[in-house]
Amino acid sequence: MSTSIPQGLQERAAELRQLLNRAAHAYYVLDAPDLEDAVYDRLYRELLDLEAAHPVLVEADSPTQRVGGSPAEGFRSVTHRVPLFSLDNAFSADELRGWYTRLIKVLDREPPSDSPLPALAMVGELKIDGNALALSYENGVLVRAATRGDGDQGEEITANVRTIASIPLRLHLDHPPAWVEVRGEALIPDSTFAAINGERAARDEPLFANPRNACAGTLRQLDPKVVAARRLDFFAYTLHLPEEWSGQRPASQWESLRWLEDAGFRVNPNAALLPNLEAVEQFFSDWDSRRHDLNYATDGVVVKLNDLRLQDAAGFTQKAPRWAIALKYPAEEAPSRLLKLTCQVGRTGVVTPVAEFEPVSLAGTSVSRATLHNADRLQELDLHSGDTIIVRKAGEIIPEVLRVLPELRLEGALPLELPHHCPSCGSDLVRESGEAATRCVNSSCPAILSGALRHWVSKGALDVDGLGSKLIEQLVERGLVRSIADLYRLDTALLTSLERMGEKSASNLVAALEQSRSQPWSRQLYGLGIHHVGEVNAKALASAFADADNLADAAVLQPEAITGLHGIGPEIAQSLQQWFSTSANQDLLQQLRDVGLTLAASDQERQALADRSNGSGQLSGQTFVLTGTLPSLSRSQAQALIEAAGGKVSGSVSKKTSFVVAGDEAGSKLEKAKSLGVSVLDEAALMLLIQDSADSIHPL
């Protein structure tokens, strides 16, 4: 590097590269953003300006020289047919006009010095705060979906994307081209996000920070059923067609959006065809307040040159199109005064500090509370009683305390810290070495009990209808339920004595509890709420250990038998060992047995497991692939029936596939089966194959 550049500038450029690359890795690879968008944009602009002023500062590892982060591990990496470029950003009307002036110059349409810039039609589209997807269609059928990745390569997530209802599996065109590349944004609507976090709170699971992060994490789930349950949405906004296609080709971005609509895609209805730059500025200004009324987050407006031929003429820089720009709104922040610090206790005993402050309006809603996560965050903020704080909610559902303004602190204000005793039961709180969480370890704590009960009756566990949070609180407060097992000692007469409980509701709840006794062993295990044991891990453990005693013996005496299972690591094994070694949990298991819970696989489950192990089922040695929607069976029910009969269910079609079971809207798997000569069954034909066992098998 040239010594003519001041040492301070060289060091600052190196520092910015390090900060931005680390943030990009956290965001794109780890899906754990550690830098706010507004901060990232500011640092990125600072580096961009430094490099523009001193080109010798540009290094190969500079984030200004690439589109995005590397694809994350764990999914198959694919090369995009058409690269996904990122957009340059503008943060003011002046920067927008600077971009437009450069565009006019590139197009060789500069007017005389005393004349105004010529007007070019543009399209304004809301910048959705979601996750970019690349969709590939061949002969009208969706064959591949991938994340943006680094712009040239992304992760293939086709199985997950197929669960998004607003993405057509087949284009709504009579004569589709040989291939089509569609770009768009996957998102979780705000109302859906609130419902998801509500369900997670009921199960005492960590809440998602915002819809975008939740969407990114969802798209990278290995189980498409999880993706389907979170109800993602999608807006399409870009179209790429083969040059040789002879069909009706859009001549503009506006026509491209209409083409996408005709093909069956959801296009954001708030796009506008804008005749000139003044109209763009008005569009941006109009949506500054209106965006808060939308059911999804948007942090700006994307402006695109409308004429596709002019887009081609403008071309690209090394990392972005010259014919488009993202005009972004500033991150929304507001000051407030801290009123008090409270604490929440979850079902695992984790104590979470919560800041309660004077209500402020952010992103169209009034907020007065924000979680502070743990004692470390509390100490980092250095909160004092009555502090003036800055709260941010940049299009997010859950606000956060960004910082404190110590210069406004009242004299004599006391520093705040987590209490030493549980706010629910008064027991001493414990923070183990190496852990961020502070916990109440009293298993009789009412807050822990309420959380454990909510988790036990949740849909993924015992799935007990009619037992909501308010009723659980009543049962705990009145001392009618002191453990999960006590739920099964409730009767209609006792329940009808509670507030808002009629005889019919009470009778239905008793029946639902009775029915829950027959839930599979894997659900019972998940319902116990053992730290790190989710639904998928519970199924793997239940398949390997037929009852709680066998699992307990392995957890305490042979942890290597647990870590030897696929997907089960030492962290889960250690959690199981701690749980089964606790006398209170041993007592709970006995209580559950006393009220009729087996905590073991049923005879049918054991037989199914044996058939799978010994290859003795009717479908032993045969591999099935499921595609489309079956008339009466869900995907999980069909899989359970096949596996119970000794068969194997695969996610992809190959020459080794025995049968493809196809329902409505079967996609590329059906086409591939036909091309390979693989036998195709409908639901009725599948049931004929396994008729001997279908009536007696309970789906696992």
On whether residue 81 sits in a domain, the answer given is no
Tell me the angle at which helices 277-290 and 93-106 cross, rounded to the nearest 10 degrees.
140
Place of tokens 């996610």: 651
- Closest by alpha carbon to 71, among 133, 155, 152, 130? 155
- Please identify, among 421, 440, 459, the residue that sits at the C-terminal boundary of a domain: 440
pLDDT of residue 567: 67
Side-chain half-sphere CA neighbours of 578 within 13 A: 13
Do 626 and 656 share a domain, yes or no?
A: yes
pLDDT of residue 612: 54
Do 421 and 286 share a domain, yes or no?
A: no
pLDDT digit string, tens, across residues 445-478: 899 899 999 999 998 899 998 998 889 999 999 9
Do 288 and 336 share a domain, yes or no?
A: no
pLDDT of residue 697: 38
339 and 357 Cβ atoms separated by less than 8 Å: yes
458 and 465 Cβ atoms separated by less than 8 Å: no
On whether residue 609 sits in a domain, the answer given is no
Do 361 and 378 share a domain, yes or no?
A: yes
Task: List, edge to edge, every strand of the sheet that includes 233-240.
Answer: 141-147, 131-138, 179-187, 233-240
What is the spatial distance between Cα 466 and Cα 508, in angstroms, rounded to a whole number? 8
pLDDT of residue 100: 95
- Please identify, among 516, 537, 571, the residue that sits at the C-terminal boundary of a domain: 516
DSSP state of 112: P
On whether residue 197 sits in a domain, the answer given is yes
Q: Which 3 state secondary structure label does DSSP give 535? A: helix
What is the spatial distance between Cα 464 and Cα 160, in angstroms, rounded to a whole number? 28
**127 is known as an active-site residue:** yes
Catalytic residue of the set 127, 304, 328, 393? 127
- Closest by alpha carbon to 184, among 264, 248, 246? 264
**Domain containing residue 41: CATH number:** 1.10.287.610
Task: Look at strands 659-662 and 679-681 and give their pairing.
Answer: parallel
* Intervals of the chain under pLDDT 50: 28-29, 66-73, 394-396, 692-700
- Please identify, among 282, 311, 328, the residue that sits at the C-terminal boundary of a domain: 328
What is the spatial distance between Cα 220 and Cα 215, in angstroms, rounded to a whole number? 9
Do 274 and 416 share a domain, yes or no?
A: no
DSSP state of 27: I
φ, ψ for residue 583, nearest 5 deg? -60, -35
445 and 345 Cβ atoms separated by less than 8 Å: yes
Q: Residue 284 burial by CB count (10 A; 0-12/13-18/19+): exposed, middle or buried? A: buried
On whether residue 270 sits in a domain, the answer given is yes
- Closest by alpha carbon to 96, among 312, 276, 316, 292? 276
pLDDT of residue 274: 96
Size of the chain, expressed as the number of residues it contains = 700
What is the spatial distance between Cα 353 and Cα 359, in angstroms, rounded to a whole number? 18
Question: Measuring CA to CA, how many Å separate 91 from each of 16, 123, 580?
Answer: 20, 18, 56
Do 503 and 594 share a domain, yes or no?
A: no
Do 191 and 253 share a domain, yes or no?
A: yes
Q: Which 3 state secondary structure label does DSSP give 327? A: strand
Do 631 and 561 share a domain, yes or no?
A: no
Q: Count helices and strands (H / E) in the chain.
A: 26, 22
User: For residue 132, what are the domain limits?
Assistant: 89-328
φ, ψ for residue 214, nearest 5 deg? -65, -40
Do 172 and 320 share a domain, yes or no?
A: yes
- Closest by alpha carbon to 455, among 501, 524, 506? 524
pTM, two decimals, is: 0.47
DSSP letter string, 71-111: PPTTS-EEE-SS------EE-SHHHHHHHHHHHHHHTT-PP
- How many domains are contained in the chain? 6
On whether residue 78 sits in a domain, the answer given is no
Question: Measuring CA to CA, how many Å separate 456 from each of 572, 573, 586?
Answer: 19, 21, 17
**Domain containing residue 481: CATH number:** 1.10.150.20
On whether residue 700 sits in a domain, the answer given is no
Do 339 and 465 share a domain, yes or no?
A: no
On whether residue 21 sits in a domain, the answer given is yes
- Closest by alpha carbon to 190, among 297, 111, 105, 112? 297
- Identify each DSSP E strand in 265-399 by its residue range: 272-274, 298-305, 324-328, 333-345, 350-362, 365-371, 388-392
Do 469 and 552 share a domain, yes or no?
A: no
What is the spatial distance between Cα 538 and Cα 601, in angstroms, rounded to a whole number? 12
- Closest by alpha carbon to 277, among 474, 160, 104, 482? 104
Tell me the angle at which helices 570-581 and 548-557 cross, rounded to the nearest 10 degrees.
110
Place of tokens 């712009």: 151
**Domain containing residue 233: CATH number:** 3.30.470.30
349 and 439 Cβ atoms separated by less than 8 Å: yes
On whether residue 352 sits in a domain, the answer given is yes
Do 337 and 322 share a domain, yes or no?
A: no
pLDDT digit string, tens, across residues 610-649: 555 555 567 877 889 888 888 877 776 777 678 777 788 8
φ, ψ for residue 360, nearest 5 deg? -135, 155
373 and 352 Cβ atoms separated by less than 8 Å: yes
